[in-house]
Amino acid sequence: MGKPQILQVGSYPDWDRIPLEEAFVLHRLYEAQDKAAFLAQVGPQVRGIATRGDLGADAALIAACPKLEIVSVYGVGYDAVDLDACRARGIRVTNTPDVLTDDVADLAIGMMLMLSRGMAAAAEWVASGDWATKGGFALQHKVSGKRAGVLGLGRIGTAVARRLEGFGMDIAYSGTSEKPVPWPFIADPVALAKRSDILFVTLAATPATRHVVNRDVLAALGPQGMLVNVSRAANIDEGALLDALESGALRSAALDVFEGEPDVNPRFRNLRNVLLQPHHASGTFETRWAMGKVMRDNLDAHFSGRPLPTPVA
Ligand code: 8YV
């Protein structure tokens, strides 16, 4: 039997592409001009899909691969994979948890500091010469000792909360269930937002969490509040967020994820109270090396009949 045939949905760095090419026959969907024609041609031979957290595998893609056995996601989030379609056909799904937790939490903290302390504009104040001609930079907002809410206390939310302890913050959290942690559980996201100066969104996205951060949550966070999102855009009502940022009903927002990314709603570009990042919370060499290895290890394990390292529950 020849090498298993894999459909590659998006690009990977060479250090993943090369070993994948050695082990499998790769079909690169993202390079095809006519994706439908390409899928009609290669889909019937495909036994595995290698995808990314941001790209996933929808029902149509899965249906185009009748011999599909496994979807291996390069990313912890598998919200873009149609799990029902996979379950119905016994297709296995894997992701890359744990290895990216620290980086995502680090970026969340970095975004909080950068936005609260106005560091981007402050750097520009020096670079432009304004410091010498206009004087000291405008005063900013303190971080240490503030009240923080963590919406979604999974691996990443917990790593964020632990880091916030180092800032002497008064931490509370919300999520699917109460956990054995030292921080108070506040089930209602509106109540969590009300007692928070800074609200971190670290929830795994599911249909149930869609727009969980809605107008009411944003109003409760209020004109002194900051929102930090390192999860998925779908967890937030982006229209309501833009309204709140434009009107001053919310002080500021630091966002790594956007509806329709990599396109970003142009309303964001006119705002000075936002910090916009290009969905790169896991984007370090160290973490992407580790994520690629886990993604490849899952495919290797499946096709050599070994237990999957990180199956999705
Ligand atoms: C990645 C992600 O940026 O882990 C996830 O769920 O969205 C990110 O780590 C993405 O999967 C890489 O393209």
Q: Is residue 80 a part of any domain in this protein? A: yes
Residue 246 lies in domain? 101-276
279 in catalytic set: yes
Same domain, 74 and 121: no
Separation CA 246–CA 276 (nearest Å): 15
Average pLDDT, the chain: 97
- Ligand 1 within 6 A of 54 CB? yes
Q: 160 and 90 in one domain?
A: no
In angstroms, what CA-CA distances link 1 with 46, 49, 305? 14, 19, 15
DSSP letters, 6-52, are EEE-S---HHHHHHHHHHSEEEEGGG-SSHHHHHHHHGGG--EEEEE
Catalytic residue among 27, 232, 251, 302: 232
112 and 209 co-located in one domain: yes
pLDDT of res. 17 = 95
For the Cβ of 74 lying below 6 angstroms from any atom of ligand 1, the answer is: yes
53: Cβ below 6 Å to ligand 1?
yes
- Note whether residue 313 is domain-resident: no
177 and 116 in one domain? Answer: yes
Residue 28 inside a domain? The answer is yes
Residue 281 falls inside a structural domain: no
267 and 141 share one domain: yes
What residue's CA is closest to ligand 1, atom 4?
A: 75
What is the atom index within ligand 1 of the atom nearest the CA of 282?
A: 9
Count helices and strands (H / E) in the chain.
Answer: 12, 11
Both 94 and 145 in a single domain? no
Same domain, 105 and 172: yes
CA of 36 from ligand 1 middle (Å) equals 25
User: pLDDT, tens digit, for every residue of 259-270?
Assistant: 999 999 999 999
Q: Is the pLDDT of residue 1 over 90?
A: no
Q: Report the nearest atom of ligand 1 relative to the CA of 74.
A: 11
CATH code for the domain in which residue 199 is found: 3.40.50.720
Q: Is residue 85 part of a domain?
A: yes
Query: Residue range 1-27: average pLDDT?
Result: 96
Regarding whether 256 and 215 lie in a shared domain, the answer is yes
Residue 200 domain-assigned?
Answer: yes
* Nearest CA owner, ligand 1 atom 7: 53
Question: Is the domain of 89 the same as that of 106?
Answer: no
Secondary structure class of 106 (helix, strand, coil): helix
Atom of ligand 1 nearest to the CA of 283: 3
135 and 251 both lie in a single domain: yes
Do both 204 and 62 map to the same domain?
no
Total domains in the chain come to 2
Catalytic: 69? no
* Cis previous bond, 262, omega within 30: yes
| SS3 call for 255 | strand
Question: Band of the pLDDT at 169, cuts 50, 70, 90?
Answer: very high
Is 211 one of the catalytic residues?
Answer: no
Residues 37 and 105 placed together within one structural domain of the fold: no
Residue 311, in any domain of the structure: no
212-255 pLDDT per residue, tens: 999 999 999 999 999 999 999 999 999 999 999 999 999 999 99
**Options 141, 147, 210, 279, the catalytic residue:** 279
Q: Is the pTM of this model over 0.85?
A: yes
Q: Is residue 157 part of a domain?
A: yes
Torsion of CA 7, 312, 55, 89, to 10 degrees: 50
